[in-house]
């Protein structure tokens, strides 16, 4: 067996309408199912503008009484990364959108191969919004992937 690509991500959320507004209106994901198709199910499915595959993100509502994501060291997902452009100008525009929408920003890092902003979704899932740094040839020098992390100056 050989994995060809990362296909999709499924997240449990407390309130699918609130999370839909975040992923659609703030991050720009495109809903792919209509209310009629959902038949009242508390789910939402999205694709990126590229329409690379049938769905890339699925949200499943579990309600307000669901256990929160544990803090600190734990087993499980740390974050997922979303490429949002090709330049620091794209990151600056994203930062403005995030600030305008009151999104919690928890970090900004220069990873040599990427420049990244770290945010939290409404349920506390950590998301890395990044650009690949132009001109960095990590394919010919994979050690660049493990370069020391520096603060990002936008």
C-alpha span between 26 and 81 (Å, rounded)? 15
Structural domain range at position 48: 9-61
The β-bridge relationship of strands 114-120 and 105-110 is antiparallel
The model's pTM is: 0.92
Angle, alpha carbons 111-114-120 (nearest 5°): 85
Do 86 and 147 lie in one domain? The reply is yes
C-alpha span between 70 and 46 (Å, rounded)? 26
CATH of the domain at 14: 3.10.180.10
Taking only the tens place, the pLDDT of each residue in 78-136 is 999 999 999 999 999 999 999 999 999 999 999 999 999 999 999 999 999 999 999 99
Q: How far is CA 94 from CA 13, 47, 90, 102, 119, in A?
A: 23, 19, 6, 12, 11
Do 44 and 97 lie in one domain? The reply is no
Do 29 and 88 lie in one domain? The reply is no
Q: Give how many domains the chain has, as a whole number.
A: 2
């Amino acid at each position: 067996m050989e994995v060809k690509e990362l296909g999709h991500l499924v997240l449990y959320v407390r309130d699918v309408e609130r999370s839909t507004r975040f992923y659609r209106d703030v991050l720009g994901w495109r809903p792919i199912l209509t209310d009629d198709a959902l038949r009242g199910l508390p789910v939402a499915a999205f694709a990126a503008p590229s329409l690379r595959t049938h769905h890339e993100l699925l949200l499943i509502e579990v309600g307000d009484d669901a256990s929160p994501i544990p803090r600190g060291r734990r087993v499980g997902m740390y974050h997922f990364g979303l490429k949002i452009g090709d330049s620091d100008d794209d990151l600056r525009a994203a930062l403005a959108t995030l600030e305008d929408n009151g999104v919690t920003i928890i970090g900004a890092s220069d990873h040599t191969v990427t420049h990244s902003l770290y945010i939290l979704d409404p349920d506390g899932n950590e998301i890395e919004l990044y650009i690949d740094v132009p001109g960095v040839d990590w394919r010919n020098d994979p050690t660049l992937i493990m370069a020391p992390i520096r603060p990002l100056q936008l």
